[in-house]
Every structure is written in structure tokens, then in C-alpha cells.
A and B are shown apart, each in its own frame.
Chain A
Amino acid sequence: MSSRKPASPNKYLPFVIIAVVLGVALAGAALLYQSSTDTARTARLDEPPSTAAQPTAALPPRTPLPGAQPPRTRGSSGENTATLEEFGDFQCPPCGAMHPIIKAIEEENGARLRVIFRHLPLSNHVHAFNAALAAEAAGRQNRFWEMHDALYEKQRSWSTAKDARPLFAEYARTLGLDVTRFNSDIKAPEAVARVRADMERADSLGINATPTLLINGREVAYSTVDDLRARIKNAVAAGGQ
């Protein structure tokens, strides 16, 4: 690097230090990523928690709650259909990133895959609960999925707004909804109850991160998009078993 002779007797030492730090940084990043994904996606969720995972073993295992009924479903409801259930938060960026992936997977599998969306607005996302209510309000005019898609696609616009509700009303107008009814439905106790029911289902399953995906009631511990795609394909091939 320099024409001047370095002060150190060992001219290779700084390069060794830099290489060691690079190695440690990369290994640390990989370990951190591994532990992050492991915490978020573990264990089968349709079984009671193990005593090892739950120190409060004296408490009876929690029964999974059903969530809002009927669920917000897209796709076929035939018997040999695999079910992909997503617990999502409209303001969570990874959920927004997952949205086009799930849409592509839906298209790939056609009528053999049913998709259920469950609300899990996280408390630290200031507009997430209102976004869930906006989707439910659109659902009362049979436009849940259109609003669902719009919320994810325009996530960056409304997430940073001081008040996102005018933007939700604008999306409702764009979707051709009755905006007066939409503005009334967004405050309706029924919409709140549906969102709460989905959140209670998440809680009963021990889900606290978004997006969390379940295939036929079992959490998917995927590592990459291709891995997720393959697991869904296997579930579809097994005919929803």
C-alpha cells in the first residue's frame, strides 16, 4: 500500500488481523442469522409444546384456537387441496417481501393449493392494526384480497405516513369500494373481533413473528424461497395430507 516502510517488524500482521476479523464477522453473521431463523421457525405447531421448551410444564398444553371464522381464504376448497396459512402483518417488511413469492406459489399450484390469511399485527408497527381493519372492512364488500394485495404492494407508502387511514380510504376508492361504508366498517366491532380472533389463534399456536407460514397446520421451517416452494409442492403432491 505504501512506498514507506511500515513501522511494524511484521508487515503481514495487519493483513492477518484483517483476515481474522473478516472471518469472525462472517461466521458471527451466519450464526446470528441461523439463530434468528431458528427462533422464528421451529417445531411442529399442531402438537402440544414439549416440556423442554416449556418450563411451566405443570400448565396444561394450550389448544389451538380456530381464528376468525370463516377464514379469509383464496383458492380451491376441494378435499385433496393443500392449505397454506400465513400469519402476516401488513406493515412488516418481510411480509411485504413474501407477498409476491406467495402469489407466485399460488399461481404455480393453481387449484391444488388453498391460501388462508391470518392477521397478526405486531404492536410495534403503529399502522398494522388499522391496516388489518382496512382489509377486513374491504372484506365486508367482498374485496378482502384486493385490499390485502394493495396494502402489501403500497406498504412503503403508508408505513411511513403519520396517519395511514386516509391512504387506506384512497385504496378503497381505487378498488371501487363504497368509501362511506368502508370508513364505517373499518371501525366496526366485527372487524376488530375478526382480527383479534386471528391474533388469539397465533397466540394459542405460540406464533409471535411474521410472516409465519403453516402448511396443513404445521409450521414451515424453510431456509430459502426454493426450499419453501419445494415443501409446498410436496404438500400439494401429497394431496393435502
Chain B
Amino acid sequence: MNEMFEPEVIKVSEARAKRSAVIYAVAGLLALAGLADSIYLAIEHVAGRDVRCTVTTGCNEVLDSSYASLPGDIPLAALGAVAYFAAFSLATLAAFGYVRARPLLAALVASMFMTTLWLLFVQAFVIRKFCEFCLLSAAMTASLTGLIVYDWWKRASDHRRESSSILRSDR
């Protein structure tokens, strides 16, 4: 690469690092919200209390259904809490520049998104009731997915732009 361009390259790469840090910090905050939601649902399940819906009407039908528990009566929300905590940890690491956390976070969020789609299908077509806390979690996972996709798309387009400018400067 031509040395004349170096200060500009540094400026651009700093801006990109800052953008990535912001994206992953927001992802971390979303994961925290999902973590709080999942912990609440898991604890209410374990304590045997009913979760009251204020917006939708199907909290108990959804949360008492067999789809809300794993074998051994482990609440599915507990698995969600573990997933959100892992997502928070990876997003924090990515925000601080640990680049290898990014593909791990992407893989985790992809699996969370697939699970969310399945659970939305179950609520809509099997139980035919919706639980607002589950919808909140779905919104968090969908937003996380959106952020990760946006970050990957931005980095891919940066990479394309970079490659074409290198080609131009080498001419």
C-alpha cells in the first residue's frame, strides 16, 4: 500500500473500529435486556408462580405448555438466560476489539434467531396464544440479528471499497 495514504487509512480504520464498538455495545445492551427477561421467566417458572400478561392474554397457556420446559422440567427460559449471557459476553469482547468474538457471536445469534422463529410458530399455530415476555425476547433476538447482519454487511462493503481503492492506487 502506498505510504501517502497511510494517515487516511488509519483515520478510516479508527472510524470503522468505533462503529463496530458502538454496534457491539448496543448488541450487549440488547442481550442484557433479554437476559433480564429470561431470568424473570425462569425464576417464576421455578418458584411456581403465574406470570401475568398485561398486553397479551396467553402468558400462562404459553409458559405452562410443554414447549416451555426442557426434559427434567428445566424452564426453556433458563436456556435463554444462558444464551443471552453468552451473547452479552461475546458482544462485550467484540466491542473491546476482540475480533474472534464476532463469528462466535454471529453463530450464537443465528441459533437464537432460529429458535425464536420456532417458538413464534408454536405460539401462533400450535398454542394459538402469545406471551408478551416471549415476544419481548423475540424482539431482542431479532434486533441482535439485525445488528450482526448490519455489521457484517458494512464490513463486507468496506472490504469491497478497500479492494477497489487499492486496485486504483496500484495502477
Contact = CB atoms under 8 A, between A and B. Distances in A.
Given A6-B96, A7-B17, A32-B40, A93 B47 contact: no
**Secondary structure type dominating chain B contacts:** helix
A125 B60 contact: yes
B85 A36 contact: no
B145 to A, nearest CB: 21
Given A25-B85, A93-B73, A160-B127, A33 B47 contact: yes
Contacts of A18: 88-89, 92-93
Given A33-B46, A36-B49, A2 B66 contact: no
A124 B98 contact: no
Interface string A10-28: 0101100110011001001
Contacts of B106: none
A6 B48 contact: no
Contact of B93 (A14, A36, A126, A209): A14
A83 interface: no
B158 interface: no
Contacts of A160: 65-66, 127
A4 B99 contact: yes
B64 A2 contact: no
Contacts of A29: 39, 42-43
A82 B121 CA distance: 49
A124 B50 contact: yes
A119 B9 CA distance: 73
A18 B93 CA distance: 9
A2 B99 CA distance: 6
B147 to A, nearest CB: 18
Given A28-B39, A94-B48, A210-B48, A4 B65 contact: no
Contacts of A50: none
A25 B85 CA distance: 9
A97 B73 CA distance: 8
Contacts of A159: 64-66
A231 to B, nearest CB: 18
Q: How large is the interface on B (under 10, 10 to 19, 20 to 34, 35 or more residues)?
A: 35 or more
Nearest to A98: B48
Contact of B39 (A8, A25, A95, A209): A25
A203 to B, nearest CB: 16
B30 interface: no
B48 A8 contact: no
A159 B68 CA distance: 13
Contact of A40 (B21, B42, B48): B48
Contacts of A32: 39-40, 43
A122 B93 contact: no
A209 B95 CA distance: 44
Contacts of A17: 92
A108 B81 CA distance: 37
Contacts of B101: 1-2
A7 B92 contact: no
Contacts of B89: 18
A215 interface: no
Contacts of B139: none
Contacts of A2: 97-101
6 contacts: A2-B99, A14-B95, A32-B39, A33-B46, A40-B49, A160-B65
Given A1-B101, A36-B43, A124-B59, 6 more contacts: A18-B88, A25-B81, A29-B42, A94-B47, A95-B48, A124-B50
Q: 7 closest A-B pairs (Cβ-Cβ)?
A: A94-B48, A7-B97, A36-B47, A6-B97, A14-B96, A124-B60, A2-B100
Interface of B: 17, 21, 32, 35-36, 39-40, 42-50, 52, 59-61, 64-66, 69, 73, 81, 85, 88-89, 92-93, 95-101, 127
